Amino acid sequence: MSALAAFFTACGDVDVAATADEVWWAGSEAGGAGPGTVSEVRRLSSEERVSSTETVAIPLAAGRTPRQGSHRYVLRRMTSMEKLDLDMLRENGCVAILRADSTEHFPATTRTLVDCGVHLMEFSLTTPGALAAVRELAGTLPGRVQLGVGTVTTVAQAEAAADAGARFLVTPVTNVQVIEYARRVSLPILAGALTPTEVFTAWTAGATAVKVFPAGLGGPAYIRSLSDPFPDIPLVPTGGVGLSEAPAYLAAGAAAVGMGGPLLGSAPKGGSLTELAERVEKLRSACSAAKSE
C-alpha cells in the first residue's frame, strides 16, 4: 500500500484493500488524478482557504463512490516540469534575473512575472538565501515555468543549485568544469562568455546556450558579428540590455535576452509590482513585433 493510500485508510476514508493505482479523487477538477500526481496532502479544516495551486477533493477507491461523511482534503498538485531547451528559449525570448539584498520579495515578484507570461527566471546567487528561495518556490510553479540559479562560478555552487531544485544554471564566466557538470547531470546551462574564443569554448563544452556578458559593451551589432561565424550557437545577450534595446538584440540573431534591473526595476526589493507588469507588457509587445518582422 502506498503512503498516500495508507494515510487515507488511517482516516477511514479509503478501503484497506486500495492500492496506489486504485486511489482516485472525486471532484471535477481532481477527477482522474492518481496519487502520482500529488506532492502534498492534508485534511481541509472548516475555515481554511486554498491557493490556486491546490485542489479540494474527496478520496475514494477505484470504481466506488465517496464514503458518507468522508473528510475533504487539500491536494497540492505536482507540476510536470519541462526541460529548458533552445525552442523554449526562443519562444520565451527573455530570462528575468532576480537580484536583491534578500529574497523577501522574490515570491511576489515571481508570481507577477508568471501571471504576465514570463516563464524563465533566474535567482542570482549574489542574493543571500537564493537557494532556499528556489527550494521553496520550485515545486509550486506551473510546469511551463523554469526557475534557474545564476551567478554560478564553481561546481560546488552548481551542485547546490541542482540540489535546491534549479531547472537550469547560468554562469557569468566560461568555466568548463561547471559546464561539464551540468552536462553530466542533464541540467541545462547558459554559460557566460564574451570573446569569440570563450563563446566557442562554452558551446563545444556542452552549453545549452551561451550568455554573452556583458552584452552592453558591444550592443546588438556585436551579437550580429558573433552570429556570422557562429550561426548555430544560440546567444543570450545579458548585462546592459534595456527594454528599448531588447528587440534589436533579437533582430540581430539572439535566441533570447537576459534582463535584470531594466525589466525588474525595484520589484525584487519590494517595489511596485504594477509597474513591473507594465514593463513586462511593453517588453513582450516590442519583442513580438521584432520576431514577426
Report, as residue numbers or ranges, the catalytic residues. 122, 211
Distance CA 233, CA 37 (A): 37
Distance CA 258, CA 236 (A): 6
Residues 49/164/8/45 CA torsion (nearest 10 deg): -20
Residues 231/235/241/244 CA torsion (nearest 10 deg): 50
Cell of 17: 484493500
Strands lying side by side in the sheet with 54-61: 23-26, 54-61, 73-77, 38-43
Contact 14, 8 (CB under 8 A): yes
Helix ranges restricted to H, 86-212: 86-92, 106-115, 130-137, 155-164, 176-184, 196-205
Q: Which residues of 214-244 are buried (b: 16+ CB within 10 A; e: fewer)?
A: ebeebbbebbbebbeebeebbbbbbbbbeee
Distance CA 277, CA 282 (A): 9
